[in-house]
């Protein structure tokens, strides 16, 4: 049974692997046996060190997805990659009436446009070698809900959910599983403002059945599952890892 979840012999590329959820996913994949390419727009030394300390294999890649086509040729440079985790993401907060075009475009470029074009490049490489692959996108509870003061983030993560299903429809029969994880309220840099807002933090905790914010490591197991053979017949799914938030 354990072999179903083994990623031994697989190579994975994880974007936004510097900190938080991306770092936890990279570490979890490495612990499951994958050789990990940890990608970030800034050095990923800490992630590489954590993977090495755990006995895993990793290499770093500088990839700035504020240019959404920056990954167009990346798979020609990395060699065969079996697993792509589209984790890189940014957020901008402001009331919708005050939200700027600059902040809208910046978020959409990283969170949605780059996800599509990196997935496209990955699929082209997989198809060219006649192989199989796994794509795991990072969606959000705001793929299902509206949220407040994050219009471009909500739009981008709603788009990630739709894109996940579209790509699954096109690529499932061609050997690529495309799925997504929708994290709940996780302790990361992106949620720091919410956690320090006493009123919002209290309201959030009161709604989460698990009674706590999630840790980045809570997402790692879900990523390993979706990247493994145990999920070979799962296509177009969005797996909520949210402490029960959406069930409330």
Catalytic, 185? Answer no
What's the pLDDT band for 190 if we cut at 50, 70, 90?
Answer: confident
**Region 196-200: what's the mean pLDDT?**
93
**Residue 248 domain-assigned?**
no
Percent of the chain whose predicted confidence (pLDDT) is above 90? 96
212-236 pLDDT, tens per residue?
Answer: 999 999 999 999 999 999 999 999 9
The active-site residue out of 153, 171, 213, 245 is: 153
Can you give the CATH number for the domain in which 49 is found? 3.40.50.720
Q: Which H or E run includes 177? A: strand 176-183
- Number of other CB atoms surrounding residue 129 within 10 Å: 10
Q: What would the DSSP string read from start to end of 55-124?
A: T-EEEEEE--TTSTTTTTTHHHHH----EEEE---------GGG--HHHHHHHHIIIIIHHHHHHHHHHH
Per-position DSSP letters for 16-45, written without gaps between them: S-SSHHHHHHHHHHHHTT-EEEEEESS--H
Q: How many domains does the chain have?
A: 1
Is pLDDT of 171 > 70? yes
* Domain limits for position 102: 2-242
Residue 63 located in a structural domain: yes
Mean pLDDT of the chain: 96
Q: Tell me if 45 is assigned to some domain.
A: yes
Residue 1 has pLDDT above 60, yes or no: no
Residue 189's pLDDT band (cuts 50, 70, 90):
confident
- The residues, any chain, with a CB within 8 Å of residue 126's CB and separated by 6 or more, are 132, 133, 175, 176
Q: Is 62 exposed, middle or buried (0-12, 13-18, 19+ CB in 10 A)?
A: exposed
Specify if 9 maps to a domain.
yes
Residue 39 resides in a domain: yes
Q: Would 184 be classed as within a structural domain?
A: yes
Amino acid 159: pLDDT: 98
- For residues 89-114, give the mean pLDDT: 97
Instruction: Flag whether 109 is in a domain.
Output: yes
Asked if residue 247 is part of any domain, the answer here is no
């Amino acid at each position: 049974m354990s072999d179903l979840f083994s990623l031994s012999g697989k190579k994975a590329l994880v974007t936004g692997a510097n900190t938080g959820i991306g770092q936890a996913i990279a570490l979890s994949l490495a612990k499951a046996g994958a050789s990990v390419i940890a990608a970030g727009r800034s050095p990923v030394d800490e992630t590489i060190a954590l993977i090495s300390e755990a006995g895993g294999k990793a290499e770093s890649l500088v990839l700035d997805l504020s240019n959404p086509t920056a990954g167009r040729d990346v798979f020609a440079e990395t060699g065969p990659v079996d697993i792509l985790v589209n984790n890189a993401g940014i957020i901008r907060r402001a009331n919708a009436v005050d939200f700027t075009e600059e902040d809208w475009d910046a978020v959409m470029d990283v969170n949605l446009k780059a996800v599509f074009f990196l997935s496209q490049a990955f699929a082209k490489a997989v198809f060219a070698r006649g192989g199989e692959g796994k794509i795991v996108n990072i969606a959000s509870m705001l793929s299902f809900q509206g949220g407040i003061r994050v219009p471009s983030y909500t739009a981008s993560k709603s788009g990630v959910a739709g894109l996940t299903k579209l790509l699954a429809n096109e690529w499932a029969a061609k050997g690529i599983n495309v799925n997504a994880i929708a994290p709940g309220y996780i302790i990361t840099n992106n949620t720091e403002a919410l956690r320090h807002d006493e009123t919002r933090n209290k309201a959030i905790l009161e709604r989460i059945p698990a009674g706590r914010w999630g840790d980045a490591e809570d997402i790692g197991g879900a990523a390993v599952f979706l990247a493994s053979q145990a999920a070979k017949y799962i296509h177009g799914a969005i797996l909520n890892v949210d402490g029960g938030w959406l069930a409330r």
